[in-house]
Amino acid sequence: MADSVAAGVGEEKETENEDKEREKRAFNNTNRSEKSGGPSEVTETLGFYERNANKKDKKRNLSDLSLVRFISAELTRGYFLEHNEAKYTERRERVYTCLRIPKELEKLMTFGFFLCLDAFLYVFTLLPLRVLLALIRLLTLPCCGLRANICPYCRKSSGSRILQPAQVCDVLKGVIMVLCYSMMHYVDYSMMYHMIRGQSVIKLYIIYNMLEVADRLFSSFGQDILDALYWTATEPKERKRAHIGVIPHFLMAVLYVFLHAILIMVQATTLNVAFNSHNKSLLTIMMSNNFVEIKGSVFKKFEKNNLFQMSNSDIKERFTNYVLLLIVCLRNMEQFSWNPDHLWVLFPDVCMVIASEMAVDVVKHAFITKFNDITADVYSEYRASLAFDLVSSRQKNAYTDYSDSVSRRMGFIPLPLALLLIRVVTSSVKIQGSLSYVCVLLFYLGMITLKVLNSIVLLGKSCLYVKEAHMEEKLFQTPPSAAPSRASSRTHRAKHTSSPPGDPADEEVSTSITTQPVHQEECPAPHLPSSESDQFLTTPDDTEEKDIGQDGMELKHRAPKKDLLEIDRFTICGNRID
């Protein structure tokens, strides 16, 4: 028993000795590592060095805080951009987008300019001929005798319309132009010029800004007045008519066209005064007004549809400015007896105005797309949407004239501008002798040739753009017979996701775009085929799609998307979407 107790006490002493030796060795190793490997265990923070966490109470090495070491660290410090590759790639794409904006924007502007030119030339070339054909139709109306069911000459039944709706609209346009032209003779352009020239520069600057705002408001409400007149005059008689009559609508349309033409005349006169001023200060102030537009547009939030509205407004504004510059040049050339040397005096100012307008548009659109992360490819979508209007106006199921569709889309109404140009040309150019009439006839034939060639090229380009955008099936969809609001039309389209077998929309439709429109029979509830193209030119978003259950459950409505094809004449009234 005693031996076992002594053996246990001896083992405890041995373990205590081993622990003490182990602690001594660890302490010696620690001291040795501090002397030999101290700098290797130091961490770097902002160029300074500190000890390990368990040695913070010791004094820092003063040699590590030297100025030379800090400067050398700054000179040799490096970094790798690839650690944030996504950020720098995005910045580079933004730069490329800004570089592509001028090219893509000018493509859209050029296409839109020729669209406006086509609608503008239509008033001078084809509209008089269409009015003449409609009047011939009225004069040859007695050939359809009361006893004859079908006329052997015109092949029309005696119970049919006297004039087609398109012919009625053409006659109304012609009568409005004639009446307003006769009223414009009572406006003295020279007196207006001297009244405006007598005003101060600041007052003229304020007047010009007010005229721009008034022009946008007139264009917005004017197309509504004209559309109301056309529908009131061509509405079927068997329907219940809830309107004030054709005559009041006609008088409102005549008053609108006359007042809008006067407004544009004051704009042209103010611009003419700016060109003829000696120090060109007014012209400089008016050009600087374009750059103020950048401040009011660039720093706002824009979606694709808002940018489309602004693009249409810029197209209309650019075309209107070109016509105003043409009027200014005509008035100045008349005052200098058509001396060609004076044209070269005006040429630098004209180029300066055009260049400033283009520069402002490019800078404005470049920064809007940059701040709102919009790609440059969106302008090709805008171009396809404008091309769709042109192609759809040539279909059998067309429901509007092409010039009216341009007016609704861009806010460009050609009647007042054409009326003012006719007034200026007739007062500036004196026609005397038979040779002058021959020159006028040749000039008219040249305008018709230009109109036809422009229409052919535009139609070919538009078909190409529509095909690239995959919008062919949208061309043959039947427009709704009555649409109180856009919301109700979208609801009606959602309810009828498939058309019945006997619906005309399912029938094979000819792809010809040069045939005459065919009057479609009215149906109480037209069914519109739904397709993926109904949401054309909108950014795809899975959260906004409608889920349709297989067992006929109700549709789950998401936030409605804005289709670019629904944007109309409100383009010139700012950036709002109704």
Q: Tens digit of pLDDT for each residue in 82-102?
A: 888 888 888 888 888 888 899
Angstrom distance (rounded) from CA 494 to CA 500 = 15
Counting residues of the chain whose pLDDT is more than 90, the rounded percentage is: 24
What whole-number distance in Å separates Cα of residue 524 and Cα of residue 499?
14
Paired tokens of 277 = 């001023």
The Cα 462–Cα 513 span in angstroms is 11
pTM summary value:
0.70
Residue 191 has pLDDT above 60, yes or no: yes
Contact 114, 406 (CB under 8 A): no
pLDDT of residue 434: 86
Taken in order 272, 277, 282, 288, the sign of the CA dihedral is positive
Question: pLDDT tens digit string along 372-409?
Answer: 888 888 999 999 999 988 888 777 666 677 777 777 78
pLDDT on residue 212: 87
User: Beta partners for 43?
Assistant: 50
Secondary structure class of 441 (helix, strand, coil): helix
Please say whether the beta carbons of 467 and 388 come within 8 A.
no
Residue 488 has pLDDT above 70, yes or no: no
- Specify whether the CB–CB gap between 138 and 168 falls below 8 A: no
How far apart, in whole angstroms, are the C-alpha atoms of residue 274 and residue 208? 11
DSSP state of 1: -
pLDDT digits (tens, 9 = 90+) for 234-250: 887 766 566 788 899 99
pLDDT in tens, 558-575: 444 455 555 554 444 444
* pLDDT tens per residue, range 510-526: 444 445 555 554 444 44
Per-residue pLDDT at 370 exceeds 90: no
Predicted pLDDT at 203: 82
Provide the H-helix boundaries in 140-245: 165-184, 189-197, 201-234
pLDDT value of residue 24: 65
Backbone phi and psi for residue 211, each to the nearest 5 degrees, phi listed first: -65, -35
Dihedral sign (CA 40, 42, 44, 48): negative
Residue-wise pLDDT tens digits, 127-177 = 999 999 998 888 887 655 444 445 444 555 444 567 888 888 999 999 999
Question: How distant, in Å, are the alpha carbons of 101, 129, 524, 570 from that of 292?
Answer: 20, 44, 52, 22
The whole-chain average pLDDT of the chain stands at: 74
269, 322 contact by CB (below 8 A): no
472, 466 Cβ separation under 8 angstroms? yes
Q: Does position 253 have pLDDT exceeding 70, yes or no?
A: yes
Amino acid identity for residue 22 in this structure: R
What Cα–Cα distance (Å) separates residue 291 from each residue in 206, 360, 362, 499? Answer: 16, 6, 11, 52
Q: Is 372 exposed, middle or buried (0-12, 13-18, 19+ CB in 10 A)?
A: middle
Do residues 131 and 174 make contact, with C-beta atoms less than 8 angstroms apart? yes
- Please say whether the beta carbons of 424 and 327 come within 8 A: yes
- Assigned token pair, 69: 């070491």
User: 43-45 and 48-50: which strand pairing?
Assistant: antiparallel
Least confident range of 24-38, 39-53, 316-330: 39-53
Using one digit for the tens of pLDDT, what is the confidence trace for 276-302?
887 777 777 777 777 777 777 777 888
Query: How far is residue 38 from each of residues 29, 35, 54, 517, measured CA to CA in Å?
Result: 13, 6, 13, 94
pLDDT digits (tens, 9 = 90+) for 37-65: 444 444 444 444 454 554 555 555 555 66
